[in-house]
């Protein structure tokens, strides 16, 4: 059987590898001039920096770990929650360094209160009027047992507002409370800083037929097979695995003929596609402490900006800092030109480390939401989304079209391992 896989990201690679290993003829059509999709390892600043997916979220039971080991990629644990007390340096809006213990207590209070609310320990679930995270915070339930309101604590403020929005890649208003089915694998967050995800993906794709720079514009299908109309001519096959991201499917730029079933279109429309952008800055030397994994800044700008920094010096010894923006913060910075964004970064670093902070000597920046082949960063559970929407999105059509990609995974959506598993699932559907 001949199968065309659209997309050379992790889901496409997993589908193609599985089908090729089972003896089928497989061609991967990739719109970009590179492999990786929403993983993109950039080495132009020196170290391998992943501008898209960069952490293995939970190595235990994670299908990527044995592959990453075989590929020779290496990773280092990142302590987002300051478990060891010295991994996060936190700063107030004016640049004052916050007390680490107090700050960490605020983080723990948020995580603890959320666990109580969403878990089975305490039956404190809000009623049906609580749809979004904004609604949830409005109930005051999160701080109900506190003598001093948690929301006055800096670590609580940072986690509930800034960290939540950039991790979920969406605003508090759009983020659904309580209906997501995301499962976090155990073992913490591990930055793939040796070789990056490119090394892992290259290992999976070895020997496969990949046609880069081949954007699919339309997919025609009937009982006899599929024909894909691309910028480089038409391609026909017995079946097709579509791994185009949720944002691409939502945009309507990839046409299906006949149109996809209405139930699938509705599901695709209801799932949230988030925004999450990075800027990596290389400085002439390391002027900040090497020990912390993260620098957290509590900006008083609306929306809060320059709040989340990854200290590459800790991980690789290079004079590089990566600043992150998610949700409304990413949308805001995407309107800024490079010069203004960098100036804002440097101004913030000056507040934290003093007036002698130099300008960066080079940088790389992402615009995932403006990229025609991603149109966003990763999916999230949006207000109005219905249980089963991801399964509906994943369903094959006419035994000819098969769907993979992070957004189709019921539990590991928004991740690289979720994408990988979804590709294997789609390939197995074809293999019967
Ligand atoms: C900034 C950012 C940070 C992230 N951080 C993490 C993290 O730390 N850990 C983690 O696990 N996950 C993270 N993620 C999510 C993770 O990167 C994605 O879930 C995963 O890479 C998605 O893989 P995929 O195969 O589903 O989609 P993609 O990687 O997007 O692959 C789809 C492919 O299809 C191609 N394509 C699209 N349309 C067409 C077309 N019309 N014709 C031909 N080709 C087309 C695209 O170019 C792309 O290569 C992050 C993502 C972003 C953007």
What is the reported pLDDT for 83? Answer: 87
Ligand 1 atom, smallest distance to 254 CA: 41
What is the reported pLDDT for 293? Answer: 97
What is the reported pLDDT for 249? Answer: 98
Average pLDDT over residues 6-14: 98
Ligand 1 atom, smallest distance to 243 CA: 32
Average pLDDT over residues 308-329: 98
Within the chain, which residue ranges are assigned CATH 3.50.50.60? 2-36+197-271+381-431
Average pLDDT over residues 176-195: 90
What is the reported pLDDT for 228? Answer: 98
Q: Is the pLDDT assigned to residue 286 strictly greater than 70?
A: yes
Most informative mutation of 4, 9, 16, 233 for ligand 1 (most atoms within 8 A of CB):
9
What is the reported pLDDT for 141? Answer: 84
- Closest C-alpha residue for ligand 1 atom 6: 53
What is the reported pLDDT for 121? Answer: 53
Options 3.50.50.60, 3.40.50.720, 3.40.50.300, 3.40.190.10; CATH of 2-36+197-271+381-431:
3.50.50.60
What is the rounded CA–CA span in Å between residue 37 and residue 150? 40
Ligand 1 pocket (Cβ < 6 Å) reads 6-12, 29-32, 37-39, 52-55, 57, 215-216, 243-245, 248, 254, 276, 278, 368, 373-374, 377-378, 405-406, 414-416, 419
- Closest C-alpha residue for ligand 1 atom 11: 415
What is the reported pLDDT for 120? Answer: 55
**Mean of all residue pLDDT scores within the chain:** 95
Which of 74-83, 247-256, 335-344, 388-397 comes out lowest in average pLDDT? 74-83
Ligand 1 atom, smallest distance to 55 CA: 8
């Amino acid at each position: 059987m001949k199968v065309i896989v659209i997309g050379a990201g992790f889901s496409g690679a997993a589908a193609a590898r599985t089908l090729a290993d089972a003896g089928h003829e497989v061609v991967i059509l990739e719109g970009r001039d590179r492999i990786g999709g929403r993983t993109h390892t950039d080495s132009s600043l020196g170290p391998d920096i992943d501008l898209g997916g960069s952490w293995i979220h939970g190595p235990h039971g994670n299908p990527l770990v044995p592959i990453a080991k075989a590929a020779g990629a290496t990773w280092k644990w990142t302590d987002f929650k300051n478990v060891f007390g010295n991994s996060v340096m936190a700063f107030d809006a004016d640049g004052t360094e916050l007390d680490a213990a107090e700050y960490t207590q605020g983080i723990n209070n948020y995580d603890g209160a959320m666990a109580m609310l969403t878990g089975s320990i305490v039956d404190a679930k809000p009623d049906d009027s609580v749809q979004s995270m904004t609604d949830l915070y409005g109930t005051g339930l999160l701080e109900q047992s506190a003598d001093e309101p948690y929301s006055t604590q800096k670590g609580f403020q940072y986690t509930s507002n800034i960290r939540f929005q950039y991790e979920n890649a969406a605003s508090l208003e759009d983020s659904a409370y309580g209906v997501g089915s995301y499962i976090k694998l155990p073992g913490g967050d591990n930055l793939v800083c040796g070789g990056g995800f490119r090394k892992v993906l290259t290992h999976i794709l070895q020997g496969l037929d990949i046609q880069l720079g081949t954007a699919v514009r339309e997919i025609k299908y009937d009982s006899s097979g599929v024909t894909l109309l691309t910028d480089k001519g038409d391609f026909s096959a017995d079946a097709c695995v579509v791994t185009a991201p949720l944002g691409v499917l939502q945009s309507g730029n990839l046409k299906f003929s006949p149109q996809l079933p209405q139930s699938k279109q509705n599901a695709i429309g209801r799932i949230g596609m988030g925004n999450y952008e990075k800027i990596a800055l290389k400085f002439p030397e390391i002027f900040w402490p090497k020990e912390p994994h993260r620098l957290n800044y509590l900006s008083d700008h609306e929306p809060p900006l320059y709040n989340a920094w990854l200290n590459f010096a800790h991980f690789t010894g290079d004079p590089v800092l990566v600043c992150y923006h998610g949700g409304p913060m990413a949308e805001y910075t995407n309107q800024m030109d490079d010069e203004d964004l960098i100036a804002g970064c440097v101004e913030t670093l000056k507040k934290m480390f003093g007036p002698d902070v130099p300008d960066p000597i080079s940088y790389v920046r992402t615009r995932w939401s403006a990229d025609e082949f991603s149109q966003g960063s990763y999916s999230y559970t949006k207000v109005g989304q219905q249980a089963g929407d991801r399964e509906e999105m994943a369903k094959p059509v006419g035994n000819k079209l098969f769907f993979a990609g992070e957004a189709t995974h019921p539990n590991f959506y928004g991740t690289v391992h979720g994408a990988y598993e979804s590709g294997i699932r789609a390939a197995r559907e074809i293999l019967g």
